[in-house]
Structure 1
Amino acid sequence: MKPYLTYIRAIVIAILAVLIVRTLFVTSCFIPSSGMENTLYRGEGVLVGKWSYGWRVPLQSVFGYHRLLPDDVRQGEIVLFNNPMPADTSISVDCRELYISRCIGTPGDTLMLNSELIAEGTDVFSPDTKALYSYPAESEEVMDCVLSSLGITENQLAGYTPEGNYIRSFSYYEHYLVTQRMDGRFSLTPLYPENSCKAYPFVVPKKGVPVSIYPWNAALIVNMIAFHEKKNAYIKGDTVFVEGKPRKEYTFSQNYYWMASNDPVNINDSRLFGFVPETHVIGKALRIWYPSRKGRFMKKIQ
């Protein structure tokens, strides 16, 4: 065989090998913004495992959505996914731009969020933000029992008010759980009410499990039904209609996830585009192959 043919064959084999690996096993993306700092920095190249959650069959516009050996996205993992709400909805899911964020809500979880979702220009809201609350000192024994029953074991007293009331710090979700469990026996009073933000429970949709519709989640639910479930859904008055019928709950056909940036100021995450359907999930971010600074080459992403 002539030498140049040997070189050509080697090049073709190398190209085919790269294409097979990228198609079946690992893909790569670059971090476009500062939203995931200090975990991932702008400009870094990241390796993503396509089998992390099962291999998603390409060409969804032709073959539909299929995933071989599917597995669940776990809370806290950094995930690569396609844009759930592109400007051009005619583009096939697997051809849309890529986003990378941390999963903080898995199917069936309850998140405490504000009701202003999927709207540009809304105030920044972090569901994990903690606030200080006071309650009567004589209710401390009841509080200890409530916290113990909920498994909130690391919530220590933060101080005392001049009136002698006790002070503790709760996240929005912890406040919701504690309030429900106390059932009106005593109230938690915000220490700084001017800084408090009204939060509501949002259930992350799980395939086959009905999600109740309330005034605070109606707009988000309708958007998801219309955009991802591909059904005619709208709000008329205070009622949600799906395919012309009033609904107080809806059962979704697939699992969804809530994705969040590390940077609470960067709202290019689920606060902007809502829950991410499993059809849009590509894989888990594994390692940094193109670092932005010294000592980060092939660092494991956590």
Structure 2
Amino acid sequence: MSIIELIIFLVLYIVLPFVGFAKLFEKAGQPGWQGYIPVYNAYVIIKLTGKPKWWIVLMLIPAINILAIIGLTIDLLKSFGKFSLRDWAAGIILPFIYLIKWGNDKETKYLGPSQTQEFREKHSKQLKKSSAREWTEAIVFAVLAATIIRTFFIEAYVIPTGSMESSLLVGDYLFVSKMNYGPRLPMTPLSFPFAQNTMPLINTKSYSDIIKLPYYRLPGFNDVKKGDVVVFNYPMQSDSPWNRPVDKQDNYIKRCQGAPGDTLSIVNAQVYINGKAMPNPPQGQPSYLVHTDGNALNPQLLTDLHITLVNQSSPSDYEMLMTRQSAATLKGYSNVKSVTESIQPKGTFDRNIFPSDPTLPWSVDNYGPIIIPKTGMTIKLDKSNFLVYRRVIEVYENNKLELKDNDIVINGKKATSYTFKQNYYWMMGDNRHNSEDSRFWGFVPEDHIVGKALFIWMSTDSAGSFLNSIRWSRLFKGIH
């Protein structure tokens, strides 16, 4: 959102509604200036509508105050004789038009505090609701309440792929906390409730980008820490053919391996941060080469040990994904001759690995070192790191970046250094050999962070049937 668009938004939804409040206050015998003071104008509305005075506390609680403002606005409109659902929608969605209109309308008069018994008895005919209207209001309120809870507090999420196995399984249903890292305010507020980016069934856009708000995050309990299981928006859709806004990009879930300012490297599948080896996920599934005597492995054994067959190159040679505990168990079977962890040799160049530069012969098992950007950090820019930080500077931080001959040019000016505007993170799946993560597409910007995975509330296995499809042992299991 440009500065001009931001100013227009603030004028429409902050300044002009306050003008309307001031006009309505004057009709109710209150000084008009009270309508221009945030929070205090809510106190005046509470007084004019007859609401309990403790409602002012709700105005100070993030997210809850949105519902409180909607409720107070509706009660204020009732006090001025606006009893229809259409009037309420107009006053909430287009306050910059209708509050001012009613404030200047001679026929609109203050009828008294709408939340008193006397008011209800006097205007019982206008306040009487049909069954259809009661259902409509209940549904609208439920959608609003659920949307606010989903946006600011907690959201359900399902594991769609095996990139986090065996820590998290396909079919695990999680609750993701928005409060831990601070709720991120919607950047595209005009969207269909509960749809991430496409409408169910009809598969069209579920949002409008007419209004785009800048990134802002409310205070949280803590920052993203190494080892946290984090849900974030997939950053590669920022400039993809979809070109989706940040908060409408697909949700991914990975474990944070590197924090802002860290130097990360991977040596023979072991992650190092600032030269120190990091703990490996206890339920991670590396790739193993299994050699047998030629006799087939029992399929039930593979199921019991949660082993995934990747490839069978001969009757006696397999590539499999499994935990280290499962590998140790498998070695004990008489027809298994060897179980060896499969690691790509150092110096192997994988074109699919970020930043796809032959001068950086990196792979999933041997990578880096690479410095993770941090807000305010300044780095020297040259050809050796141009491709590493190009996407950050150009896409995530909205600069025009060019390489002209031997010079790096940012926004038309030659640059030898760059200072980062936000924090970045390095995310990896626990299933290291079956995970598309930061090794493939680089850094995750702070404004893409959605929340922290807390616990599994339901888990289903598609291979099971009816009650047998529920993984009972995983219900309400915490995520570590």
Cα 1:267–1:250 shift into 2, 3 Å: farther
Q: Quick one: structure 1 residues 50 and 3, their matched pair in 2 at CA, closer, same or farther if it must change by over 3 Å?
A: same
Return closer, same or farther for 1:18/1:221 CA change in 2, 3 Å cut-off.
same
Instruction: Note if 1:48 corresponds to 2:176.
Output: yes
Instruction: Give the distance between the partners of 2:157 and 2:218, measured in 1 at CA.
Output: 22
- Name the residue aligned to 2:149: 21
How far apart are residue 247 of structure 1 and its match?
A: 3.1
Question: Does the CA contact (< 8 Å) of 1:222 and 1:240 recur in 2?
Answer: no
Q: CA deviation at 1:249?
A: 2.6
Identify unmatched segments of 5+ residues in structure 1: 115-124, 130-149, 153-193
Structure-2 separation of matches of 1:2 and 1:64: 40
**Aligned Cα RMSD in Å?**
3.0
Partners of 2:130 and 2:246 in 1: CA distance: 44
Query: Structure 1 residues 2, 253: CA separation in 2 closer, same or farther (over 3 Å shift)?
Result: closer
The counterpart of 1:205, out of the listed 364, 369, 373, is: 373
Structure 2: 5+ residue stretches without partners = 1-127, 189-210, 278-343, 348-360, 362-366, 461-470
Q: Does 1:128 align with 2:278?
A: no
What is the aligned counterpart of 1:286 among 438, 454, 457? 454
Rounded to whole Å, the distance in 1 between the matches of 2:276 and 2:163 is 32
3-state SS of the aligned residue for 2:477? Answer: coil
Structure 1 residue matching 2:256: 3-state secondary structure: strand
Cα separation, 2, equivalents of 1:126 and 1:45: 29
In the TM superposition, 1:1-302 aligns within 5 A as 8=135, 14-60=142-188, 62-70=212-220, 71-86=222-237, 87-88=240-241, 90-112=243-265, 126=269, 128=271, 195-197=345-347, 199-213=367-381, 215-237=383-405, 239-292=407-460, 293-302=471-480
1: CA distance, partners of 2:434 / 2:416:
33
| Equivalent position amino acid for 2:225 in 1 | R
Cα deviation, residue 126, structure 1: 4.1
**CA distance in 2 between partners of 1:89 and 1:6 (Å):** 39
Moved over 4 A (4+): 1-7, 9-16
Identity of aligned residues (%): 37
Whether the 8 Å CA contact 2:255–2:427 is kept in 1: the answer is yes
Distance 1:113 1:128 in 2: 4
**Amino acid in the other structure paired with 1:196:** K
Letter paired with 2:250: E
Return the offset for 1:3. 11
Larger radius of gyration: 2
Counterpart contact for 2:164–2:435, Cα < 8 Å: no
Deviation for aligned residue 1:228? 0.5
Give the letter aligned to residue 262 of structure 1: D
Deviation at 1:40, TM superposition (A): 0.7
Q: Deviations over 1:48-87 (max 9, x none)?
A: 0011111100125622100111542100101111110112
In the TM superposition, residue 39 of structure 1 has moved relative to its aligned partner by: 1.0
Instruction: Give, in angstroms, the shift of residue 245 of structure 1.
Output: 3.3
What one-letter code is carried by the residue in structure 1 that aligns with 2:257?
A: I
Conservation of the 8 A alpha-carbon contact between 1:200 and 1:216? no
Length-normalised TM-score, structure 2: 0.44
CA distances 1:99-147 after superposition (whole Å, capped 9, x unpaired)? 1110101001001259xxxxxxxxxx84528xxxxxxxxxxxxxxxxxx
Instruction: Say whether the 8 Å CA contact 2:151–2:183 is kept in structure 1.
Output: no
TM-superposed CA distance for 1:195, in Å, is 3.0
Which TM-score applies when normalising by structure 1? 0.67
Taking a change above 3 Å as real, the CA distance of residues 244 and 17 of structure 1, as seen in their structure-2 partners, is closer
Point out the more displaced range, 90-99 or 287-296. Answer: 287-296
Aligned residues: 232
